[in-house]
């Protein structure tokens, strides 16, 4: 894994957006994997600003989001569909038909999982997957203990994840208990991964990730075995790993 340390959240967001825009310019039909949450909001803001200023085109880009809550309607302000629409899709020239987010409303949720995997494969796989990390090491909604072999599947959210995400809801009991997520294998099949890490809350996660120990108890640790992963982390997130000798 290649690590780029930057000063702060703004710098991380700017660098990551630049990274993604460069990929889109060199491969206009990029299959781009996207994440939600607090971490990538600044990246999307920078992509939006670049689009306005430099007219980078997303006309031929196809996107695949990592995950979605089960049971929230698309128009629910907390659905990841709304998040993506408000933070990115409505600001760039991408047709919504080229954006893919697993549906947490399909009555046959197993069929939805199979279909989502098929769509990714049919598109030729994900070229670049953007990731955030949970403080418990989750990637997508793959919580600790998830087998590394999983494809898109349904998960019960860990209490720590519900607590972390409760900030977006009125009450913690409004946070859905389940989500549909790309599996760890799905994520690992991406040709390239860009992991963003910012802030104090992720310091312990960085120590575990960079210890090099690969364990299903810390899902992101599998990224140590991905051949093309770049981490952009800010100084605060890197605080505890400063003195670790990371060799990979």
Residues catalogued as catalytic: 67, 136, 138, 143
Burial class (CB within 10 angstroms; exposed 0-12, middle 13-18, buried 19+) of 246:
exposed
Looking at the Cβ atoms of 36 and 100, the one nearer to ligand F6R is: 36
Query: What torsion do the CA atoms of 96, 117, 232, 230 make, to the nearest 10 degrees?
Result: -130
Structural contact between residues 20 and 194, judged by C-beta atoms closer than 8 angstroms: yes
Looking at the Cβ atoms of 13 and 36, the one nearer to ligand F6R is: 36
Q: How far apart are CA 64 and CA 223, in angstroms?
A: 19
- Give the interface with ligand F6R as residue ranges (CB under 6 A): 35-39, 66-67, 132-134, 138-141
Looking at the Cβ atoms of 66 and 194, the one nearer to ligand F6R is: 66
Q: How far is the CB of 247 from ligand F6R (least distance, A)?
A: 26
Q: What would the two tokens of residue 221 be?
A: 């640790």
Q: How far is the CB of 157 from ligand F6R (least distance, A)?
A: 10
Q: How far is the CB of 133 from ligand F6R (least distance, A)?
A: 6
Q: What would the two tokens of residue 151 be?
A: 């494809």
Q: How far is the CB of 129 from ligand F6R (least distance, A)?
A: 10
Looking at the Cβ atoms of 57 and 135, the one nearer to ligand F6R is: 135
Alpha helices per DSSP H over the chain: 9-26, 41-54, 80-87, 109-122, 159-165, 184-188, 203-210, 235-238
Q: How far apart are CA 162 and CA 143, in angstroms?
A: 11
Q: 117: which residues sit within 8 A by CB, 6+ positions away? A: 151, 152, 186
Handedness of CA 54, 8, 169, 143 (dihedral sign): positive
* Paired sense of beta strands 178-181 and 67-69, if any: antiparallel
Looking at the Cβ atoms of 4 and 57, the one nearer to ligand F6R is: 4
Q: How far is the CB of 245 from ligand F6R (least distance, A)?
A: 27
């Amino acid at each position: 894994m290649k690590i780029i340390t930057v000063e702060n959240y703004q710098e991380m967001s700017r660098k990551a957006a630049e990274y993604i825009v460069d990929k889109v310019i060199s491969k206009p039909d990029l299959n781009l994997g996207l994440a939600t949450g607090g971490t990538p909001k600044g990246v999307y803001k920078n992509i939006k600003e670049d689009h306005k200023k430099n007219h980078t085109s997303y006309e031929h880009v196809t996107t695949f989001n990592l995950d979605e809550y089960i049971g929230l309607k698309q128009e629910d302000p907390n659905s990841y569909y709304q998040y993506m629409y408000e933070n990115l899709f409505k600001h760039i020239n991408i047709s919504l038909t080229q954006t893919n987010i697993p549906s947490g409303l399909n009555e046959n949720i197993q069929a939805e999982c199979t279909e989502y995997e098929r769509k990714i494969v049919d598109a030729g796989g994900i070229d670049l997957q953007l990731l955030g990390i949970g403080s418990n090491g989750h990637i997508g909604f793959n919580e600790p203990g998830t087998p590394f072999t999983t494809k898109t599947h349904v998960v019960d959210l860990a209490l720590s994840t519900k607590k972390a995400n409760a900030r977006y809801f009125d009450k913690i009991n409004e946070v859905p208990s389940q989500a549909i997520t790309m599996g760890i294998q799905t994520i690992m099949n991406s040709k390239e991964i860009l992991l963003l890490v910012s802030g104090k809350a992720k310091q312990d996660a960085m120590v575990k990730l960079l210890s090099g120990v690969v364990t299903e108890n810390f899902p992101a640790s599998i990224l140590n075995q991905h051949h093309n992963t770049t981490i952009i982390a800010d100084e605060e997130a890197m605080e505890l790993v400063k003195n670790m000798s990371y060799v990979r």
